[in-house]
Chain A
Amino acid sequence: MSYENKILQMKKMRKKKPESEQNAEKVFKKPDVPTYAKQWEDAGLKRIDNKFGIVFLLEKHYSTNYKHGDFYLGELYNAFQLWNNTEQKHPLALENDNNLVFYDTETTGLKGVGTQIFLNGILEAEPGGFVLKQYVLADPSHEVAFLWESKLWQANKTIVTYNGKSFDWPQLQTRFTLHRKDLPKLPEQKQIDLLHGSKRIWKDDLSRMKLSQVEEEKLGFHRIGDIPGYLAPIIYLDAVKNGNPSTLLKVLEHNEYDLLSLITLYIQTTKLLCEDIKKESATTYTNIGKWYGDLAETEKSSELLKNVTKLYKSDEAGYAYYHLAFQQKKQQLFEQAYLSFKSAIPFIKERQKIIALIELAKIDEHRNKNYEQAIYYSQHAYKLVENSIIWNDEIKFKKLREIEKRIVRNERKISSPGK
């Protein structure tokens, strides 16, 4: 029977209520313990009872010598040291902060109030190593107990996530808002989102920014028997519907990998940002150089980009020259900028090439007063724009008109010098 027919068969079940007011505000009532609580305990989950109900916990400890992929977890402390030793300001910079929380959730859906968090994975430092606490929602009615136990509502934490700024944290806020009658307000915590950092560092170097791909290519960690994240909702629903948690434990393992990788990703990210050039690609270091440039750390940016131009072959260093040129221009080092743009041009893509040619023309016109040369670069740019398929006609004409103006102006300067 089609869905529609089935629904229409149910007409008899549709009833109207008599006119009366809905029952008003209710006081909190502890929900019943799910029937499968014992089964989950037997599977190794610890039952915690609090004033709002129950929540399950899986706790695991790691020493600082624990190796995950290419890194020891204890290297996190070296990372803090590295930041300590640099003068630059950087959004990822951290100090040895006791309230550092690596955080990752698993949810029953992607968005909206109907999506619940069913796993709060929290990885924190403890004396001698690290502790992983995975809180599992006992069933949807025990959500308040689950949220309370996470202690994420306690102030002054720094939350480190992968895509947490736009996913995990807003989800958590939604859940706290929904239960705001019973729970304290979730404070604004300091957020470090390593997805953002990865995007800046490995743009054009990694094809996708999925954590599992970053792990494999940059952190030396390979997952074996991992369940794909998109199955997590169905697995949880299944565990609640039939009480059997065995597959759910695979989700916990997945979440554990994610959290351990967060630490090593932070370590690796810090090294790339603070240490000298080692084995990563020219693209990666160029990205980092550009990032410092965008943070107005001009010196650091120039230094790094200059090193890329020295250490890598010129065809790999095109973009390093290109971004370096802008830093030099900012520092009023026009001669150097001019040379950098020239070195960049053979090895960069059309869009940047056009920009570089115009920049050369500008320097020739305004600094070098070499109007013939300015015209030469402008004409070169003109030809590229003309044949380009990057823009639609309207934008293209606008760009061509601008270049035309530049050419005409330079021609005038040649024919009537001094004006």
Chain B
Amino acid sequence: MISKKKTIEELLQEWQANPEMQDRVEYVHTIPPKPAKLVDFPSKLHPSLVKALHKRGIDQLYSHQREAFEYAINGQSFTAVTPTASGKSLCYHLPVLQAILENKASRALYLFPTKALAQDQKSDLNNLIEDSGEEILSYTYDGDTAPGIRQKVRKAGHIVMTNPDMLHSGILPHHTKWVSLFENLQYIVIDELHTYKGVFGSHVAHVLRRLLRICHFYGSHPIFICTSATIKNPKELAETLTNTQHQLISQNGAPTGKKTFLFYNPPIIHPTFGVRRSAILEVRDLARDLYNSNIQTIIFAKSRVRVEMLVTYMKSLTAKKIQDETIRGYRGGYLPSERRKIEKGLRDGTIQCVVSTNALELGVDIGQLQACIMTGYPGNIASAWQQAGRAGRRQDDALIIYVAQSTALDQYIIKHPYYLFESTPEEARVYPDNMLILMDHLKCAAFELPFSVNDTYGEFEVQDLLEYLQEEGILIKTSEKWHWMSDSFPAHDISLRSASQENVVIIDQSIPAQTKVIGEMDRYSALTLLHEEAIYLHQGTQFQVEKLDWDEKKAYVREVDVDYFTDANLAVELKVISEDKSRQIGHAEVAFGDLMTLATATIFKKIRFGTHDNIGSGPIHLPPEELHTSGTWLSFDQPENWKEDDLTGAMTGVAYAMNSFIPLLLQSDRSDVHVVPQVKATHSEKPTFFVYDRYPGGIGLSERIYDLWDELLHHVYEHVKSCPCQNGCPSCIGAQDISAEGKKQVLTFLKTILLAELDD
């Protein structure tokens, strides 16, 4: 194989001359370069900082960096919207260092969503400090911090960089060891604000309320500095998260290079069913061209399985080279040391191509990548821009290729590329009101400091809830206060990250004497990914699950070499527990309230690589997972002249499309909400669509859908109608049997029944 170094421009020209590419690239969009908007240093800026900036060749600031500095020194919490590579770190480093230079007792706490980001930022900050010639101590504090220096971090660290999990279970419950930090805390920096959404964000909102409570106890009143990617509601998110008012910096003064977007649609291979060639195979071919042209590329795939499949495919390019490390996978579930190695390889250029889940959307500094391929739409505009931002950092040309999958959402995007460029990005929401999350953190807060009988917590009145904790035997009330009275350590039982509290550990027993843990997975995902006989992929290596010990939460795997992967089905039962609100839309009734769901993994299929044929199946025997959550539902009268089977088919098709469009309406992951159709719901005996949050207690997503049913169903109708397939396809209502008139029925159903009911 001949590989020749090419520029992006050269490769694009080559592709333009290729008729096949011309056919498949449905749209090209170019964003011209944007010059920088520069302003002078603020006059108050400490001479040592001026010196440090000069040393790095910086003689002026971007406009947003100066704006940030002014807000901070005026004691005003703020949130800055900063795309990738816009010099966001100076927005917080400058005011923080200024404060410390003015008063050596002053302290700052930096929060990053992951350990990796904190460690990355530390080297950046340390370089800046070194250039200033001042002695300012900054440390990361996380699970990797050596016990020997922990004491020093606590007592002497001017800047402590950590993550919410460590703050939650390693710092706040031990706040007496951090007196010098909490007494003098002037700034709390929250980087990557947009990542704090949904369940995780709701937990972090409470961790921050606990943090402020501790600060007030020690007499400090810190200011928040947040930086966020572009989302619709950065100010609102920051305010809900921190329970503090914020100013917003939305104008960015950083320059950008020229960006070329290609919208690539895989060819239709089965016109009747509208089936397109697998996006993964297309990505493989595109990535091969980039690899052979020596263009450093990042490929985003949506699931762990896809990452592993792509790594397997891509590694065949280098199969003949010994110990070639130029192509790597990167995703959650890898061990930290492995991830550090990959990050380094990307920075120093030894890795040419990395395949990642959205773990790398975040600001992990991997230097400049030239191209980015998105395997499918990441689900929302903000993520799409984050991923695109990975290519062409600083002022270089960048190539972004969006490869559509067959799903409704993906096809919608490729038909409406302007959706990406012209709509405002989605909202990110947190829901600190979730009762389970609130109670979890109320316990932690009570452990950290006794509540007095007239205390509140954050924005909550909690005396009644404390009373409940006393009844549970966790607290004891004396004349003035509620005291923690239990030998447990509540923060250990509460994980900020996963819906289910316990993860399944994956143990490789390929070599009996050397069993080792190679990763972990949340319980809900494990139902369909780690059942016995499942093929689990890790760094491109296939493992078969030999035994899943559900009680002990351990999956034992062994390395295998087979030509298929597995895919499992999940059956869901539903029960309405309470109806909090309801209203009529036409003849239909929509409601919102509490639901109980029961998810059972039923069967799995074996699917061959390459052709994606179904080559076998088997049952899964696992106990059902119970979930008490909030949901919204729409019920309507049983239509006349419809056979139950036909109605089931039509409703399933509509649910499929709805599932795809909900992420368009809310900024949520596809997996955050679930749509379930029932021809005869248990509570009303009527045909009903349920939409519910996939987290105990709910996270406020389905509550928003309650207000958006109308919009959602019209959206679905328009899309299914305009889909070019004949009988329904994965892009609209899901794949259908050959003979079925699925699509016609869905459209009839939508038009004559559902929308008619709504519009009446």
Chain A residues close to B by CB (< 8 Å): 2, 4-5, 7-8, 10-11, 13-17, 22-23, 26, 29, 31-32, 34, 108-116, 139-141, 173-174, 177-178, 180, 233-234, 237, 240-241
Contacts and interface: CB of A to CB of B under 8 A. Distances in A.
A15 B483 contact: no
B56 to A, nearest CB: 40
B179 A177 contact: yes
Nearest to A29: B480
Given A4-B696, A4-B697, A13-B468, A114 B448 contact: yes
B280 to A, nearest CB: 36
Contacts of A29: 480
Interface in B446-492: 446-450, 452, 454-456, 459-461, 464-465, 468, 473, 476, 478-481, 483-491
A111 B459 contact: no
B708 interface: no
A260 B463 CA distance: 45
Contacts of B476: 139-140, 237, 240-241
Contact of B478 (A13, A108, A141): A141
Given A7-B435, A13-B464, A17-B459, A111 B483 contact: no
B436 A2 contact: no
The winner among A22, A111, A116, A233 for most chain B CB atoms within 10 A is A22
Contacts of B459: 16-17
A4 B439 CA distance: 10
A23 B480 CA distance: 14
B216 A140 contact: no
Contacts of A109: 486-489
Nearest to B488: A109
B435 A15 contact: no
A140 B176 contact: no
Contacts of B490: 114
A22 B485 contact: no
What's the interface size class on B, roughly?
Answer: 35 or more
A177 B479 contact: no
Given A22-B216, A111-B489, A173-B176, A140 B460 contact: no
Contacts of A233: 487
Interface of B: 173-177, 179, 216, 433, 435-436, 438-439, 446-450, 452, 454-456, 459-461, 464-465, 468, 473, 476, 478-481, 483-491, 594, 626, 628, 696-697
B173 A112 contact: yes
Given A17-B461, A140-B485, A23 B454 contact: yes
Contacts of B460: 14-17
A14 B435 contact: yes
B485 A237 contact: yes
A367 B466 CA distance: 76
A141 B481 contact: yes
A240 B485 contact: yes
Given A114-B173, A177-B176, A8 B697 contact: yes
B186 to A, nearest CB: 20
Contacts of B448: 112-114
Contacts of B435: 7-8, 10-11, 14
Contacts of B465: 10, 13-14
Given A4-B628, A114-B489, A237-B476, 10 more contacts: A4-B436, A17-B460, A17-B461, A22-B216, A23-B454, A108-B487, A174-B174, A237-B473, A240-B476, A241-B473
A8 B627 CA distance: 12
Given A4-B628, A22-B216, A178-B176, A110 B447 contact: no
The 6 A-B residue pairs whose C-beta atoms are closest, nearest first, are: A114-B447, A140-B483, A32-B479, A141-B478, A114-B484, A177-B176
7 contacts: A10-B465, A22-B456, A31-B480, A112-B447, A114-B446, A139-B483, A180-B179
Contacts of B468: 10, 13
Given A13-B468, A112-B174, A141-B478, A22 B489 contact: no
B487 A113 contact: no
A113 B489 contact: no
A417 B460 CA distance: 87
B155 to A, nearest CB: 12
B487 A234 contact: yes
A178 B439 CA distance: 24
Nearest to B438: A14
Given A113-B176, A178-B176, A237 B483 contact: no
The winner among B448, B455, B485, B628 for most chain A CB atoms within 10 A is B485
Nearest to B179: A177
Contacts of B491: 112
B35 to A, nearest CB: 44
A186 to B, nearest CB: 11
Contacts of B481: 140-141
A113 B468 CA distance: 21
A32 B478 CA distance: 8
A110 B179 contact: no
B594 A31 contact: no
A167 to B, nearest CB: 14
B439 A7 contact: yes
A5 B216 contact: no
A22 B628 contact: no
Given A14-B460, A234-B487, A113 B628 contact: no
The winner among B176, B439, B455, B491 for most chain A CB atoms within 10 A is B176
Contact of A2 (B489, B594, B626, B697): B626
Contacts of A114: 173, 446-448, 484, 486, 489-490
Contacts of A13: 464-465, 468
Contacts of B450: 140
Nearest to B178: A177
A336 B666 CA distance: 81
A110 B490 CA distance: 12
A113 B697 contact: no
A23 B217 CA distance: 11
Nearest to B594: A8
A26 B480 CA distance: 12
Nearest to A389: B513
Contacts of B176: 113, 173-174, 177-178
A113 B436 contact: no
A141 B479 contact: yes
Nearest to A170: B177
Contacts of B177: 174
A265 B484 CA distance: 35
B318 to A, nearest CB: 25
Contacts of A110: 487, 489
Contact of A22 (B173, B433, B438, B455): B455
Nearest to A177: B176
A141 B480 contact: yes
A111 B216 contact: no
Contacts of A112: 173-174, 447-448, 489, 491
The winner among A13, A111, A174 for most chain B CB atoms within 10 A is A13
A15 to B, nearest CB: 4
B674 to A, nearest CB: 18
A293 B480 CA distance: 56
Nearest to B461: A15
A114 B455 CA distance: 17
A2 B173 CA distance: 27
B208 to A, nearest CB: 16
A14 B460 CA distance: 7
A17 B174 CA distance: 28
Contact of A113 (B449, B456, B485, B626): B449
